Structure formats: C-alpha cells, structure tokens
C-alpha cells in the first residue's frame, strides 16, 4: 500500500471520528448521540491501528463498543422517555459554549504547534505491539496491572451496591 | 502537499485536540447526565490518542501501557457513574443535572 492510499484512509477515519463526535455533542436526541458515539469509538480504534497499537485498538472495540456503550444505552433506556428533546442546560447556552469550544480548539492547537518542533525519535514503534505489551505487563507494570484488577472488582461491587433495588426505601410505592 | 500526505505527529494531535474540546463542550453545555458521561468518554479517548501518538513517535512502551490502564479505568468509571445516575433518577425522577440541586431527599 503506498503512502497516498494510506493517507486517504487516515483522512477518512479522521473525518469519521470528528464528525460523529460533533454529532454526539450537538445532537438533540440521546439515542442518536449514543449511536454516533459508536462510530466515534470505531474511528478512534482505526486511528490506534495507524499508531501501530493494534492490541489497544481491539481492546477499544471490545471495552468501549461492547461494554461502555451498551452500559450507556441501558442508562438512556432506564432514565429517559426515549424521545426527550430538551438537552441544553440553563447554566451555559449553546452559543457561548460553541465560542468556548472554538477558543479551546484554537488554544490547544496553538500550544501544540508553537511549543517547538516535535522531533520523532530514532526507533519508532513498528508493526505489532502485542508481544511487547505482554512483556511489559508481566515485568515493569506488574503492580499497576494487579491494582487494576482490584479497582475493577471494587467498582463492580460499588456499582452493584449503588444501583440495587432498595427494599426498605421502596416499600411505600 | 507533503504536509498533508505524510501522516505525522501533528495530525493526531489535531484530532485529539478537537475530540477533547468537543468532550468539554458536552460537559459544559448539556443537561442530560448521560450525555455528560459521553463527553467524559470523548475526553478520555482524546487523552489516549495523545498517549499513543507520543509513544509511537518516541518508540517507548509507556504510552501504550498507560492507555491500556486508561481504558480499564474508563470502564470502571462508566459503571459507577451510571449507577449514580440511576440513583439520581430514582430520587429526583430526572437526570437533568441542573435540577439536581439539593443534598437531602
């Protein structure tokens, strides 16, 4: 695959990511936002492949699309009359919010582009990164890896405790 | 032309800046708690893109490992946050964050 095809594919996925993220944010319907978020996650996963982090891309698809997005959809269905339209706050309206959004993009990009030339290192990541992730997890990142499992267990118990059906509280309903 | 065809570090940084700002916009202006959560997920994804970009062009594994842990914590955060949102809905009968303004039932 030559350079031009690669960059065309990159731009397609970049456009998919950014446009669907904008749709998530500006859409008036929560369900539409949730489904647009799926495309954002897929686009970001494709960008991860461009960054030669194939394992992270697969994890992104499994965890975000298969887990978090389903969770968010369950949340939407539990808590909403599906076609609720009123999404804006009265704290900050859309027009000042959009101005702030543009200012923020401009500020971050200004910082990125003027901080200096980013010099790419001599040995960039190439090809698959799965084997190196395995080595790193079992050597240098052993403790964070084990702690992540404890955090997940605690979060699981905590979420189940918070969202359980409260018998005492709901007796009078 | 060279700037547009050779995909470099700046391309990824630009995308992550846009994603981060959109996420912040959702957190700042949306009423629905679930859309705010989606904004937080966008912010985390933007941070992940930055980690992986610098990891790729630096050649080290630190960014890759850290983005893995970010994904794990994002999953934990989404589970707990949705439990809290469902509790808020049970108590206040709404998920509108600007009408949740009392600390006792």
Q: For the residues A10-37, what does the mean pLDDT come to?
A: 91
Q: Among 3.40.50.2300, 3.30.56.10, 3.40.50.720, 1.10.287.3510, what is the CATH number of B31-105?
A: 1.10.287.3510
Residue pair A43/A61 in contact by the 8 Å Cβ criterion? no
Task: Characterize B9-18 residue by residue with b for buried, 16 or more Cβ atoms within 10 angstroms of its Cβ, and e for exposed.
Answer: bebbbbbbbb
What's residue A171's pLDDT? 55
Q: Does B2 touch chain A (CB under 8 A)?
A: no
- Given a cut of 80, whether residue A162 has pLDDT beyond it is yes
Residues of B in contact with A109 (CB under 8 A): 13-14, 17
Rg from Cα positions in chain B: 18
- What percent of chain A is modeled with pLDDT above 90? 43
Please give the model's pTM, rounded to 2 decimal places: 0.88
Residue pair A18/A105 in contact by the 8 Å Cβ criterion? no
Contact B87 A121 (CB under 8 A): no
Q: For the residues A2-15, what does the mean pLDDT come to?
A: 90
Handedness of CA A138, A141, A147, A149 (dihedral sign): negative
What's residue B31's pLDDT? 82
B67 vs B16: CA distance, rounded Å: 14
What's residue B58's pLDDT? 86
A46, A55, A125, A126, A139 from A132: Cα distances, Å: 20, 10, 10, 11, 11
Among the listed residues B75, B87, B86, B39, the one whose alpha carbon sits nearest the alpha carbon of residue A65: B75
Interface residue of B27, B83, B92 to substitute, partner A, most A CBs within 10 Å: B83
Interface residue of B17, B20, B70, B104 to substitute, partner A, most A CBs within 10 Å: B17
What's residue A29's pLDDT? 83
What's residue A86's pLDDT? 57
- Given a cut of 90, whether residue A91 has pLDDT beyond it is no
A159 vs B5: CA distance, rounded Å: 46
What's residue A30's pLDDT? 86
Contact A24 B38 (CB under 8 A): yes
- Given a cut of 80, whether residue A25 has pLDDT beyond it is yes
B42-86 residue pLDDT tens: 999 999 999 999 999 888 888 999 999 999 999 999 999 988 888
Average confidence score pLDDT of chain A = 85
B53, two tokens: 């970009």
């Amino acid at each position: 695959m030559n350079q031009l095809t690669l960059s065309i594919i990159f731009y397609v996925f970049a456009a998919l990511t950014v446009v669907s993220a904008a749709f998530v944010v500006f859409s008036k319907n929560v369900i539409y936002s949730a489904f647009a978020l799926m495309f954002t996650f897929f686009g970001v996963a494709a960008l991860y492949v461009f960054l030669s982090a194939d394992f992270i891309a697969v994890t992104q698809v499994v965890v975000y699309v298969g887990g978090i997005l389903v969770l968010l959809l369950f949340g939407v269905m539990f808590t909403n009359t599906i076609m609720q339209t009123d999404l804006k706050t009265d704290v900050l309206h859309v027009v000042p919010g959009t101005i702030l959004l543009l200012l923020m993009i401009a500020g971050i990009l200004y910082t990125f582009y003027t901080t200096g030339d980013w010099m790419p290192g001599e040995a960039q990541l190439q090809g698959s990164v799965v084997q190196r992730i395995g080595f790193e997890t079992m050597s240098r990142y052993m403790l964070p890896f084990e702690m992540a499992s404890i955090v997940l267990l605690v979060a699981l118990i905590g979420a189940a405790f918070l969202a359980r059906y409260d018998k005492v509280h709901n007796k009078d309903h | 032309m060279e700037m547009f065809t050779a995909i470099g570090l700046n391309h990824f940084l630009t995308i992550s800046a846009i994603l981060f700002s959109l996420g912040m916009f959702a957190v700042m202006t949306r009423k629905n708690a679930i859309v705010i959560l989606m904004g937080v997920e966008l912010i985390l994804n933007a941070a992940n893109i930055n980690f992986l970009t610098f990891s790729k062009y630096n050649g080290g594994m630190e960014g890759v490992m850290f983005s893995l842990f970010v994904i794990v914590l994002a999953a934990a955060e989404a589970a707990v946050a949705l439990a809290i949102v469902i509790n808020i809905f049970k108590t206040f009968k709404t998920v509108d964050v600007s009408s949740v303004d009392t600390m006792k039932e």
